[in-house]
Amino acid sequence: MKNTEILDTTLRDGMQAEGISFSVNDKLNILKLLDSLCIDFAEVGTPASNVKDNELFERLPSLELKHVKPVAFSSTCHINTLPESDAALNAAAASGCEYVSVFGKAWLLHVEHILCTTAEENLRIIKESIEFLRNKDKKVFFDAEHFFDGYKDDPSYACKVIETAVSAGAERVVLCDTNGGALPDEVVDIIKECSALLPENFGVHFHNDCGVAVANAVAAVAHGAFHVQGTLNGIGERCGNTNLATLIGNLQLKKNMEVIPPECMQRLSGVCRAVAQISNISTNNMPYISRAAFSHKAGMHVDAVMKTPRSFEHIDPETVGNRRNILISEVSGKSALFSVIKEIAPFVQKSSDITSKIVERVKELEYKGYQYESARASLELIVLKELGIYKPHFCLERFKLITEQEGPSAGLSSAFVKVKVGRQYKIAATESDGPVHALDGALREALYGFFPELENVFLTDYKVRVLDAKSATGSTVRVFVETSDGENSWTTVGVSVDVIEASKQALIDGIEYKLYRGECTK
């Protein structure tokens, strides 16, 4: 039986994170992803607050969502006014959403010094705002803002806020740690002390300012919370919100609770990465869903996990739609590299001469400055070349770059390339504001006619690292290029004393890898 309910607030609270901005189409795409994961509710924004949210609410009906229920968001009515005259509440009531989240103050500090009103007036606007929406046939989630801080200062008043929301007909009463300052033991103690007045379906909302938002949510669920709010990758104001991906993994796989249908668990990593891409953030080392979550680098660890996976993996990566990632570096050893070889050529034996030859080749390249821990695509191409089963799809016969400067900041780069594909040649040229981007554009322009699949391929990241700082501008540099086709991403590497040459190596590897993988899937 399902025993935990999830409300995702990526489109509302997540939007308050630094550097996050979603277009209307972004929001609609995220809603579709949440729907595919069978998340229960999604706060979609505040009606009538801005042009984008207005358009979003207008387009919601066309989505035909099968599972996730959109939730409008609003504050209570203003002090010394009636809900009927409050624009925000009326917009929420007219939003077309069956559910509305309303927040109100549960901390007397905010009531007296932020709202500048009385304790009684705050209770009135909470009560009448919920009743107003209930009379408009809306189901109301009441967010008791700053509840845990409010309870620490004045338990009696914080409890009155909860009692007022319950008596007014709130569908869910949500205890919020808005400042993110509570620790799990405090959360448990406060929930225990309030248990007599909390409804069975009460909820919690935690921020991550102490790094324990997920731990707080797990503790709260263990002590009766039914409804949990958060964001899929933990984005949100300041240090973020409860990371729902981690929470779902912990509750479903560790506590044997059904949070989402079992068949949806295998979509978890893919959905989270897609949302991360829309958000323009990295999943870094997030539990369960990141590439790092099941990455192994040290030689002994790799050897062990290849023999007995659970020796260094707490769950099967495929349970959450992830996969094992063996990192190749100076500390990894032969077992790590052999795992890559085995994926490409299952017929190769670990003890064979070709395996030893590939290991020596990789070590030689690493000595020159190449690094394959983060450039798996380039590594696979090396293995293919050493096995003799790879043939380049094209040859860059020649290229020319011209960089011009006008004024202190205006710059223009032009790239001219000549490529050979089979017995055919193609010349192309592009302009850009940087030489690497111009070279990349010219390469693609020359190859589109031969390989139409490259139309959907684009660069997502470009990094340069100086390897020998003592040589100043004559230093060897390492360039990493991350490429994506919208569904998958891969990273390639190039090394040279010439940053353009290093970039060219990484760019060509990125294109070649896409073409090679495309052939493998045909």
Phi, psi for 42 (deg, rounded to 5): -140, 120
75 shares its domain with 101: yes
Per-residue pLDDT tens digits for 88-147: 999 999 999 999 999 999 999 999 999 999 999 999 999 999 999 999 999 999 999 999
Instruction: Identify the pLDDT of residue 507.
Output: 96
Quick check: 25 and 32 in contact, CB under 8 A? no
- 3-state DSSP helix/strand/coil % of the chain, to nearest 5: 45, 20, 35
Tokens of 65: 């969502």
Per-residue pLDDT tens digits for 448-479: 999 999 998 888 888 898 887 566 556 789 99
Binned at pLDDT 50, 70 and 90, residue 358 comes out as confident
Instruction: Identify the pLDDT of residue 289.
Output: 95
**Average of pLDDT values for 385-399?**
92
343 shares its domain with 473: no
Point out the domain boundary residue: 235, 255, 279. Answer: 279
Does the pLDDT at position 331 exceed 60?
A: no
Q: Is residue 380 in a domain?
A: yes
Instruction: Identify the pLDDT of residue 1.
Output: 53
Per-residue pLDDT tens digits for 46-100: 998 889 899 999 999 999 999 999 999 999 999 999 999 999 999 999 999 999 9
Between CA 66 and CA 50 the distance in angstroms is 27
Q: Is residue 257 in a domain?
A: yes
Instruction: Identify the pLDDT of residue 314.
Output: 95
Binned at pLDDT 50, 70 and 90, residue 409 comes out as low
**Cα–Cα distance list, 348 to 268, 326, 358 (Å):** 34, 18, 11
Instruction: Identify the pLDDT of residue 489.
Output: 85
Q: Is residue 399 in a domain?
A: yes
Quick check: 440 and 454 in contact, CB under 8 A? no
Neighbouring C-beta atoms of residue 388, cutoff 10 Å: 8
306 shares its domain with 157: no
**Average of pLDDT values for 257-274?**
94
Top mean pLDDT of 298-307, 407-416, 428-437 is at 428-437
Residue ranges making up the domain that contains 477? 368-389+458-503+511-522
Pick the residue with more confidence: 376 or 287? 287
Neighbouring C-beta atoms of residue 197, cutoff 10 Å: 13
- Provide the number of structural domains found in the chain: 4
Phi, psi for 91 (deg, rounded to 5): -65, -40
Q: Is residue 194 in a domain?
A: yes
49 shares its domain with 140: yes
326 shares its domain with 415: no
Binned at pLDDT 50, 70 and 90, residue 335 comes out as low
Phi, psi for 472 (deg, rounded to 5): 55, -125
Instruction: Identify the pLDDT of residue 474.
Output: 63
**Residue 341, C-beta contacts closer than 8 angstroms, at least 6 positions apart:** 348, 355, 358, 383, 387
Indicate if the alpha-carbon torsion angle 252, 256, 261, 265 is positive or negative: positive
Q: Is residue 59 in a domain?
A: yes
Per-residue pLDDT tens digits for 347-356: 888 778 888 8
Does the pLDDT at position 396 exceed 90?
A: yes
Q: Is residue 285 in a domain?
A: no
CATH code at 191?
3.20.20.70
Among 442, 438, 443, 444, smallest CA distance to 429 is for: 442
3 state SS for 111-167: HHHCCCCCHHHHHHHHHHHHHHHHHCCCEEEEEEECHHHHHHHCHHHHHHHHHHHHH
46 shares its domain with 165: yes
Binned at pLDDT 50, 70 and 90, residue 321 comes out as very high
Confidence (pTM): 0.75
Q: Is residue 284 in a domain?
A: no
CATH code at 499?
3.30.160.340
CB half-sphere exposure, 302, CA atoms < 13 A: 20
* Orientation of helix 499-520 relative to helix 435-447, angle to 10°: 30
Q: Is residue 286 in a domain?
A: no
**Average of pLDDT values for 13-33?**
94
Neighbouring C-beta atoms of residue 456, cutoff 10 Å: 11
**Average of pLDDT values for 319-336?**
72
Does the pLDDT at position 302 exceed 80?
A: no
56 shares its domain with 203: yes
Top mean pLDDT of 307-316, 392-401, 409-418 is at 392-401
312 shares its domain with 428: no
Binned at pLDDT 50, 70 and 90, residue 443 comes out as very high
Between CA 305 and CA 285 the distance in angstroms is 19
406 shares its domain with 315: no
Instruction: Identify the pLDDT of residue 329.
Output: 58
95 shares its domain with 33: yes
273 shares its domain with 330: no
Instruction: Identify the pLDDT of residue 430.
Output: 94
Does the pLDDT at position 483 exceed 80?
A: yes
Between CA 428 and CA 46 the distance in angstroms is 49
Concatenated DSSP letters of 348-379: --TTSHHHHHHHHHHHHHHHTT---TT-HHHH
Instruction: Identify the pLDDT of residue 469.
Output: 58
Instruction: Identify the pLDDT of residue 509.
Output: 96
Point out the domain boundary residue: 279, 306, 333. Answer: 279
268 shares its domain with 337: no
Quick check: 110 and 145 in contact, CB under 8 A? yes
Task: Tell me what percent of the residues of the chain surpass a pLDDT of 70.
Answer: 95
Point out the domain boundary residue: 237, 257, 279. Answer: 279
Top mean pLDDT of 175-179, 284-288, 374-378, 489-493 is at 175-179
CATH code at 351?
4.10.430.20
Between CA 516 and CA 199 the distance in angstroms is 58
